[in-house]
């Protein structure tokens, strides 16, 4: 749980039991928001060099300087791997960045969005409009509640499900367990794809292996895609993917110029390359 002790001499210090023995700091100019919601502590900070930053329970969720890498990959890898995504579900992602990216896809007709903490949405709309602009699209239906409970009520409804959860500590923990993934599979239409926040291949190997094992057991195809991003622990994060049909490691159709021109990280080449893992990671996942 975050507190004033994490801000010292103009620096924000992030430490977490999930990546023991290391810390990450950003220089901040101003605390813009600092309050506990029903579920977690929410902090928004003006950093000196990385734009505004959102932290939940003291863990950095995004900075304006590099959030595009994560949002673009988590949204566009599954959406472009699917030949024609029409119905999409997003769980978590209260800042709106994933919604912003999904809305670039003209084939998408409806986007159900389930976030547990209404306050994250409200605070993002107030302080992070470049992400929360994602909420403006009329295709979005907002549901406030636990993503696991929401998924259990859905059967064969979605082409793509994206889980933009916080780490497996606090309210996000349930989203890293097998019963949730069983619910995700049941909520997918035939040929559907799930993509979930998959933590770091360097720092969270137990978690990555667990998610890879679950998706391997449940889905026809499974993959792990790596993203470079300076302000997540170790400078990287992954996406854990499961497919009921389409190949995951390439776009199903050419990426339209009209979408590509709006993006800063995603390209078809990066899509394919992100599934090529370092030798240790390849060996680790091959042992499953």
Nearer to ligand SAM, 108 or 123 (CB): 123
Decide: helix, strand or coil at residue 50: coil
Nearer to ligand SAM, 18 or 209 (CB): 18
Nearest to 143 by CA among 114, 122, 175: 114
Piece in contact with ligand SAM (CB under 6 A), picked from 17-25, 88-96, 100-108, 200-208: 88-96
Residue nearest to ligand SAM (CB): 92
**Tokens (6 digits) for 23:** 């810390």
Smallest distance, ligand SAM to C-beta of residue 286, A? 26
> What is the DSSP pairing of strand 236-243 with strand 140-144?
unpaired
Number of shown-chain residues binding ligand SAM (CB under 6 A)? 25
What is the chain's alpha carbon radius of gyration, rounded to the nearest angstrom? 18
Regarding 151 and contact with ligand SAM (CB under 6 A), the answer is: no
Dist. CA 160–CA 162, nearest whole Å: 7
Buried b (16+ CB within 10 A) or exposed e, 175-212: bbeeebbebbbebbbeebbbbbbbbbbbbbeebbbbbb
Kindly write out the interface string for residues 233-272 of this chain, putting x where it contacts ligand SAM by CB under 6 A and - elsewhere: ----------------------------------------
Nearer to ligand SAM, 2 or 167 (CB): 167
Distance from the first to the final alpha carbon of the chain: 34
Smallest distance, ligand SAM to C-beta of residue 169, A? 10
- Binding ligand SAM (rule: CB under 6 A), the pick from 90, 120, 162, 203 is 120
Does 173 qualify as catalytic in the annotation? no
Q: What is the largest CA-CA distance in the chain?
A: 54
Q: What is the DSSP string of 46-62?
A: EESSS-EEEEETTEEEE
The phi and psi torsions of 144 (rounded to 5 degrees) equal -100, 120
Smallest distance, ligand SAM to C-beta of residue 186, A? 17
Q: Which of residues 52-81 bind ligand SAM (CB under 6 A)?
A: 56, 61, 70
Nearer to ligand SAM, 142 or 284 (CB): 142
Q: Identify the DSSP state of 64.
A: T
- Residue tagged 């990546």 (tokens): 19
Dist. CA 232–CA 235, nearest whole Å: 5
Question: What number of other Cβ atoms are within 10 A of residue 233's Cβ?
Answer: 23
Piece in contact with ligand SAM (CB under 6 A), picked from 2-10, 89-97, 135-143, 266-274: 89-97
Q: Which of residues 90-119 bind ligand SAM (CB under 6 A)?
A: 91-95, 114-117
Residues at the interface with ligand SAM (CB under 6 A): 56, 61, 70, 91-95, 114-117, 120, 146-148, 164-167, 171-172, 174-175, 197
Instruction: Report, as residue numbers or ranges, the catalytic residues.
Output: 164
């Amino acid at each position: 749980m975050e507190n004033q002790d994490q801000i010292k001499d103009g620096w924000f210090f992030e430490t977490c039991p999930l990546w023991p023995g290391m810390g990450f700091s950003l220089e901040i100019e101003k605390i813009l928001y600092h309050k506990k919601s029903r579920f977690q502590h929410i902090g928004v900070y003006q950093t000196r060099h990385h734009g505004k930053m959102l932290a939940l329970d003291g863990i950095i969720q995004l900075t304006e300087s590099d959030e595009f890498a994560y949002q673009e990959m988590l949204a566009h890898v599954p959406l472009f791997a699917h030949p024609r995504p029409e119905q999409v579900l997003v769980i978590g992602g209260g800042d709106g960045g994933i919604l912003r990216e999904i809305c670039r896809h003209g084939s998408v007709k409806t986007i159900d969005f389930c976030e547990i903490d209404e306050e994250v949405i409200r605070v993002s709309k107030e302080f992070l409009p470049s992400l929360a602009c994602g909420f403006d699209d009329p295709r979005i239906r907002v549901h406030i509640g636990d993503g696991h409970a929401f998924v259990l009520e859905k059967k064969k409804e979605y082409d793509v499900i994206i889980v933009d959860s916080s780490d497996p500590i606090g309210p996000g923990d349930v989203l890293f367990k097998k019963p949730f993934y069983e619910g995700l599979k049941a909520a997918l239409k035939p040929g559907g794809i799930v993509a979930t926040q998959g933590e770091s291949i360097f720092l969270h190997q137990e978690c990555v292996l667990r998610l890879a094992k679950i998706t391997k057991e449940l889905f026809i195809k499974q993959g792990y895609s790596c993203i470079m991003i300076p302000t997540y622990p170790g400078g990287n994060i992954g996406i854990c993917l499961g497919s009921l049909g389409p190949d995951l490691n390439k776009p199903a159709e050419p990426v339209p110029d009209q979408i590509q021109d709006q993006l800063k990280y995603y390209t078809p080449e990066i899509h394919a390359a992100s599934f090529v893992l370092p030798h240790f990671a390849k060996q680790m996942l091959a042992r499953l």
